[in-house]
């Protein structure tokens, strides 16, 4: 039986907000990745890709599951969604998924750094 981590789970509104913002972030980075690899693609397809890994991340964190298993599961779900939505070969799907990971890490690092700088500003 898996139990929730003590003290790490907030209100349902906070959890929904976290999933929603993370899903929006991953949707934007999925669109950037798909656009860079595939060219002109529909934005609405990316909004299907983003919520799936975001939900996996929040649920695995809330239940204290193995983070490596959660990352692997999120990558597989991400690749499956990209494959089904864009209808490309496995090789191209793997490439779009890899670019999605890279763009998410880079943009997340920049945004986190900016937030840290703003939070630590004097005054």
Chain mean position to CA 89: 22
Average pLDDT for 57-69: 90
Q: Are 20 and 57 in contact (CB under 8 A)?
A: no
Structural domain containing residue 107: 12-119
Q: What is the pLDDT of residue 4?
A: 53
Count structural domains, the chain: 1
Q: pTM of the full predicted structure?
A: 0.85
Q: What is the number of alpha carbons within 13 Å of residue 31 lying toward its C-beta?
A: 14
Answer yes or no: is 79 within a domain.
yes
Q: Is residue 7 part of a domain?
A: no
19 in Cβ contact with 55 (< 8 Å): yes
**Strand positions, DSSP E, the chain:** none
Please compute the mean of the pLDDT values over residues 6-28 and round it to a whole number: 84
CA–CA dist 72, 61 (Å, integer) = 14
């Amino acid at each position: 039986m898996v139990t929730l981590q003590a003290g790490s789970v907030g209100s349902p509104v906070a959890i929904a907000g976290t999933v929603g913002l993370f899903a929006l972030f991953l949707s934007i980075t999925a669109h950037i990745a798909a656009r860079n690899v595939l060219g002109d693609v529909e934005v609405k397809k990316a909004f299907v890709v983003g919520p799936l890994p975001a939900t996996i991340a929040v649920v695995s964190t809330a239940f204290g599951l193995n983070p490596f298993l959660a990352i692997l599961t999120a990558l597989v779900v991400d690749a499956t969604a990209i494959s089904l939505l864009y209808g490309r070969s496995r090789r191209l799907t793997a490439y779009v998924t890899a670019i999605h990971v890279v763009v998410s890490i880079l943009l997340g690092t920049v945004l986190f750094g900016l937030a840290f700088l703003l939070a630590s500003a004097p005054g």
